[in-house]
Structure formats: structure tokens, C-alpha cells
Structure 1
Amino acid sequence: MASRPSTGLPPARWRMFFLLPAGLAMLAALNGGLLLLNLPAPVVAWADLHGILMVVGFLGTLIAMERAVALRHPLGYVAPALLGAGALVLLTPLPTRLGQLLCIEGALALCIVYLVLWHRSRDVLVLVHLLGGLHLLIATLTWLVAPVWVLVPWFIGFLVLTISAERVELARFQMPPHGTLVLVAATTALTVTLTAGFFWPDLAVRLTGTLLAVLVLWLVQHDVARAGIHGSGLRRYSSVALLAGYGWLLVAAVCWLIYGHQTSGFAYDAIVHAVMLGFALSMVMAHAPIILPAVLRRPLPYRPILWIPLGLLHIGLMLRVLTGDLLQLTVLWQIGGVITVAALLVFVATAATSALLGEPATTATQTSLTHTPDPAERTL
């Protein structure tokens, strides 16, 4: 195979340094999460930054890194570098405002990356990604003047729009002719209802919940994961993770419809973690065997052991959200929370072990209907 022309991108081994802050942000977020569960943690700190570190420092940096590889230009790495740096600053005694400003600049840089990608491709789906990036930018700007619970709907919008655009990109050839426009209309409507939340929060979140429920059902109807569920190996693993993630997003949507605007308490906890853990992290687990090798140029082959952290994640969420939160059973809420923390740590350990062991003999023959294109090979 002919070698690719040089693009001036950082070598694959150097890209890991852009992801290290994301990993540290995740660990700090888990530490803070244990404290919020009223349980002991290795460090008595970061509880108030738990959500920021998980969404901006961890998930935001991962998404920005994937987009930087897709851009094929060194300046694309400014976004993950800034988001990661912002998260690191938040972990130090340095002023919180400095970390906030770095996160804002990182979100803005991500939006610029999307603009360049759209100029290159003129693909409408890139505009949905851009809208998601704007949600992240609005959230980080709002963080300067408002408590974290005000940011939560915008964080949810960022994750939902980003992941929805990725999934529609894969299924566009199986969708009705105007499927992409349906997503654009739905995500635009979500942006309107989130904006209305600044003025009429209870009505806005109920409308947002309705839109999310409709969007989830539409995505499930057309996602290629429905076919993959009957397969085997990576194909089935990814499909189960994807469909389970959609299920948790539907749970959050229904909770918003039933409970309305929440700023704390069990219902708030259920909504936040159904999306941030159930939806977003299940999607991360689904895509990790494909996206991370594309970003790091190191194989992360599928092995059955990957089912363990995926199963732990959803068992923990069922205990935490469906029993602990919705039935207000504190002990089960705590047990479920600990299991989800363990799930993420086990996932990191199993993924690292799988990468170090290399490709199993059967990997080359595996195919997946849930395959995500190499970010460096996309036209977006």
C-alpha cells in the first residue's frame, strides 16, 4: 500500500499527549463523583467540578481530538489542547477563571474546526456538528456567570447533536431522501427549546424532553445498529452498546417530561447520569475499538472481555437511576454509582490490555455494520 503524503500532523505517538489530559480529567471526575455519592475518595477535591471535568475535560477533548484528525491540519489540535489544558488547570490551585477561559477558547476552536470542515465538504451534517459545538461554547460561556445546573441542558445538547450527526452519517444511505434534513430540523428545534430555558425553564425542558424522545425513536428506527444486533463479535458488541445508549437517552427524555425543570435531587441525578453515562459513555465504549486506533494509529482489537465493563456500566446505571434515583433508595443509588465508576476503570484497563496484546488471529476477518470511518479518511 502506498504511503500517505505528509500532512504536517503530529506523529501518532505524540497524539497520545493530547489525550492524557482527557484521561486525567476522567479520573478526577470519578473521584469527585465518589464524593458526591457521600463515599470516600482518594482525593478530597473536585466534587464541584465533577460534571465539567467529565463533559468538557474528558468527552469534549476526545471529540475535539477526533475532529482534529479529520481536519488533517496541525491547527486542528488547538481545540483538544485548549480543552485538555483547561481541565488540567481546574485540577490545580491556579485560578478557576483561567481554566474557564481555556475551556471557552477550546470550545471556540472546535467550532472553527467545524467551520473549516463544512467549507471543505458543504455537508449539511457538519452543520449539525457545528451546532453541537456552539452548544458547548454556550455552556462554557454561561459557566462564567451561572451554576453548573444551568449548563446541563447545553452539555446534553452538545453530546446529543454530536453523536446523532455521527450516527446519521453512517446510516444516510439507508434513510429516506430527506433524512438528513429531519435531523437538522430536530436539532435546530432542540436549540430553540434550550434557549427558551433561560426564560421559561420548566416549559422548555418538557419541550426538550419531547423532542429528545422523538429524536431517539427516529434514530433507532434508522441506525445500522439494529441490523448488527443479530451479528457476532465487534458487530454485536457495538450494536448492543449503541442501542443501550439510545435507551438511556429515552429515559432522560421521559424524566424531563415527567419531572420538568430540576436543579438538584434524585430526578436531576437521574436525568444527568442517564445522558452523561448511559448515553454518552455507552457510545464511547461502542466506538472505541474503531475510533481510537484511527486516532492513535495503534490497534485496539475487539475481545469478548470488553463486554465486562459495558455490562457493569448498564447494571450500575439500572441500580443508580431506575432504583436509587427514581425510587429514592439511597443505598442502591450509592452501590450503582460505585459500579459505574468501576465500569469506566475496568474499560480503560481492558482497552489498554487489548491494545498491548495486539490483534488476535481472527480480527482481520471481522466486519461490522456499525463501523465508523477512519476520521483521517473522511471527507467531512
Structure 2
Amino acid sequence: MCPRGLLLTFAGASLVTGLFAGLTLLGIWADTPAASLGADHGALMVFGFVGGAIGLERTVAARTRWAWAGPVASAIGVVTLLAGAPRLVPAAAFTLAFLVLGAVYLRIHRRQATHAVLVQSTGVIGAVFATVWWGGGADFADIVPFAVVFAVATIIGERMELARVSFAGTAAETTITALSLALVAASLMFALHPQVGFAVMGILIVALALVTVRIDVARRLVHAGKLPKYTAICMLAGYAWLLVAGLLWLGFGHTRAGYLHDAAVHSVFLGFVISMIFAHAPFILGGVIRRTIPYHPTLYVPVALLHGGLSLRVVADLRAADVAWMMGGVLNVVAVLLFMATGAGLMVTDKRRRRLAREKRAARV
């Protein structure tokens, strides 16, 4: 296995472990030793998986040796977290990984200054605040707003970069950059006045969702075919959930636990983040491990399970319906695991098909 594939494995391990930790929070396996993972669910999913995958993808793009310190630090964070080391140890590793990611963005910005890289850089600010505060002993629920800044700014910045034809030079590009900077400021306001900062963040999240989806090429690609249509559907669904999250934050205020907290948090991290990962995985994997996920209609199955399960979960949250809430959460876990299995299966099938095609061409010669 190549080094980048090995490092991606740590992010994948963090994802799988984080999903099983989430099941314990849903009440499944709550009386087993696995229940101890529940407290680390958020850190595994956001720092270990999302942060690790994004850091690796950016490191590959940077093409500089020192940048690999970031993915290595992230892997150390995952290992020490799962090993039960004092929280300060994985927190320090994750913080280092995000600081290196910030340095990578700075290097890229020096090569070519763009609004897209600036927006992604604002996400690093949120990530560093999150890991430092978490390392100091705060519960993950206390740092959710900073983690949201990281996830939202990073993904929207990558959309600006990938769809630069649609974004570059438009008024929306400047507006999105300003909104991202304001989101960082609002998260700092949250640290001082939680309810006020949380409400302002809700307004900004709604604005970011509306402004970005309006200019994103996904609105046109949804009328295309096969892979472009698939990615567009995933992206538009992600923007819809980001809008829902902003409205939940604005309408119900800050909560540290309970149904409303669950609805608001998972609308962002499942509805927006995971849906965007489903959309971009077929392309991003090609840059990271030189393997792509070929399009097949079966890719829609985990997408349907993800959004159907999340819809059930959020409705159950609003109605305080325990059984439906648990069912929705289980469907979410199944959706992500099924996407991983489907993607791996399609890559193996595609590799076999290409090998057979080469053998047939060689036989003709």
C-alpha cells in the first residue's frame, strides 16, 4: 500500500469507529465496552475523518514534502484517541495537523491568490479553536460551532475552487468570502455570548447556503446524465440541509444536548458534509490514491438512505419520538457504510474490467 493510501486508511478507520460510536449514542450496544467510544464520536468524525481526508487531499495537491507532516499528525491523533491516551495528546496532534493545513493554504495562496483558498483558510481557524478548546477539557458539544466553521468554510471554499468558472469574478464570490469571515467572527462571539453568537451563525449559515447554491454549477448539472447528475443531486441536497441547519440554529437557539441539538448538528455534518463527500468522492479519490469510483446507478442507494434516514431523524427530533429517531440514526450509519462498500466494489470491478480489456487487446496483437 502506498503512503497516501495508508494515511487515508487512518481517516477511514476514524470514520468507521466514529460511526459505531454513534450507534452507542443511539442506544445500540450501550451496555458493551464499545459504549466508551460514544464520548469520542464527534472528534472521530470531524477531526479524524473529515480533517484527515481534507488534509491528505490538500497535501497531495501542494506537492511539497513538509506538508506530509499534517496527515501524519492526523493519523497520530486517530491512533492516540482510539488508544485511550489523555485527551491532550490527540488534541495536540490534530491541532498540529490543522496548523500544517493552514500553512498549505498559505503556500497555495502565494502561488495564486484566490477567494476560494481564503475561504478554506477561514475553516482552519475554526478547526484550531475547536481542537484547542477540546484539548483543554471541553465537551465536543461545546465546540460544535467551531467545528461547523471548519466544515462549512472548507467545503464551500472547495466548491468555489472546483467550480471556478461559475464563481470567479462574480459578486457572489466576494459575498461568500465576506460571509465566511463573518462566520468566524460569529463563532468567536459564541465563545463570549453563546445564544447571540449561535443565532448570528444561524443567519450566516442560511445566507451562505442561499448565495452559494444560487451560483453553483450544480443547478445546471442536475439536468445532465450519469455522474454529473449524481454529483449535482448530492450537492443540491447538501445545500438544502445546510439551509435547514441554519434555520434550526436560528429558530431554536443553542443547546448542548437533546433532540434539537441532535437535529441541528446532524443537519450540518450528515446532511451537508457527508452528502458533499458522496458527491466529490469519485473525483477526489483519483487525486489521492489514483483510483476513481466509476459511475453506477447503485450509488444512489446510499444517497437515498442518507437523506431519507436524516429526514426521519430530524422529524423525530422535532417530535421527540425515540423509536423513529433511533431508526433514522441507524439508516444514516448504514448509508455511509454502504457507500464505502459500494465505492470499493465499483473500483474493484472497474479494475478487473480494465485488466480484461487490456488482455483482449494484447491477445489481438
- Calculate the TM-score normalised by the size of structure 2: 0.92
1:375 matched to which residue of 2? none
Q: Given residue 342 of structure 1, which amino acid in structure 2 is its aligned partner? A: V
Could you say what the CA RMSD is over the residues aligned between the two structures, in angstroms?
A: 1.7
**C-alpha contact 1:324 1:332 (8 A) present in aligned 2:** yes
2:332 matched to which residue of 1? 340
Report the alpha carbon displacement of residue 360 of structure 1 after superposing the two structures with TM: 9.7
**C-alpha contact 2:172 2:212 (8 A) present in aligned 1:** no
Higher helix share: 2
Q: Given residue 97 of structure 2, which amino acid in structure 1 is its aligned partner? A: G
> Is the aligned partner of 1:247 residue 2:240?
yes
Q: 91, 105, 114: which is aligned to 2:105?
A: 114
Q: How does 1:35-74 map to 2 (within 5 A)?
A: 35-40=24-29, 43-74=34-65
In the TM superposition, what whole-angstrom CA distance separates every residue of 1:73-95 from its partner, at most 9, and x where no partner exists? 12222111111210111111333
> Is the aligned partner of 1:274 residue 2:267?
yes
What's the % identity of the aligned pairs? 37
Q: Given residue 83 of structure 1, which amino acid in structure 2 is its aligned partner? A: S
Q: 167, 170, 174: which is aligned to 2:166?
A: 174
Q: 294, 299, 305: which is aligned to 2:292?
A: 299
Report the alpha carbon displacement of residue 286 of structure 1 after superposing the two structures with TM: 0.2
Report the alpha carbon displacement of residue 361 of structure 1 after superposing the two structures with TM: 8.3
**C-alpha contact 2:176 2:211 (8 A) present in aligned 1:** no
In the TM superposition, what whole-angstrom CA distance separates every residue of 1:33-67 from its partner, at most 9, and x where no partner exists? 01101112783331000001000000100000110
Specify every segment of 5 or more residues in structure 1 that has no aligned partner in the other structure, as ranges: 1-11, 363-380
Counterpart-to-counterpart distance in 2, 1:288 and 1:165: 16
- Calculate the TM-score normalised by the size of structure 1: 0.89
2:126 matched to which residue of 1? 135
Q: 76, 87, 93: which is aligned to 1:85?
A: 76
Q: 136, 144, 150: which is aligned to 1:158?
A: 150
Q: How does 1:253-272 map to 2 (within 5 A)?
A: 253-272=246-265
1:27 matched to which residue of 2? 16
2:210 matched to which residue of 1? 217
Report the more deviating stretch, 94-103 or 282-291.
94-103
Counterpart-to-counterpart distance in 2, 1:59 and 1:265: 24
Counterpart-to-counterpart distance in 1, 2:239 and 2:270: 11
Counterpart-to-counterpart distance in 2, 1:34 and 1:118: 40
1:356 matched to which residue of 2? 348
SS for the counterpart of 2:36 is: coil
Counterpart-to-counterpart distance in 2, 1:297 and 1:352: 13
Counterpart-to-counterpart distance in 2, 1:44 and 1:147: 16
In the TM superposition, what whole-angstrom CA distance separates every residue of 1:309-352 from its partner, at most 9, and x where no partner exists? 1111111101111x211111110000000001001110110000
Q: Which has the higher contact order (CA 8 A, sep 6+)?
A: 1
Report the alpha carbon displacement of residue 252 of structure 1 after superposing the two structures with TM: 0.7
Report the alpha carbon displacement of residue 170 of structure 1 after superposing the two structures with TM: 3.4
Counterpart-to-counterpart distance in 2, 1:223 and 1:229: 11
> Is the aligned partner of 1:13 residue 2:13?
no
1:329 matched to which residue of 2? 321
How many matched pairs?
350
Report the alpha carbon displacement of residue 13 of structure 1 after superposing the two structures with TM: 2.7
Q: Given residue 318 of structure 1, which amino acid in structure 2 is its aligned partner? A: S
Specify every segment of 5 or more residues in structure 2 that has no aligned partner in the other structure, as ranges: 355-365
Report the more deviating stretch, 39-48 or 109-118.
39-48
**C-alpha contact 2:190 2:197 (8 A) present in aligned 1:** yes
**C-alpha contact 2:176 2:212 (8 A) present in aligned 1:** no
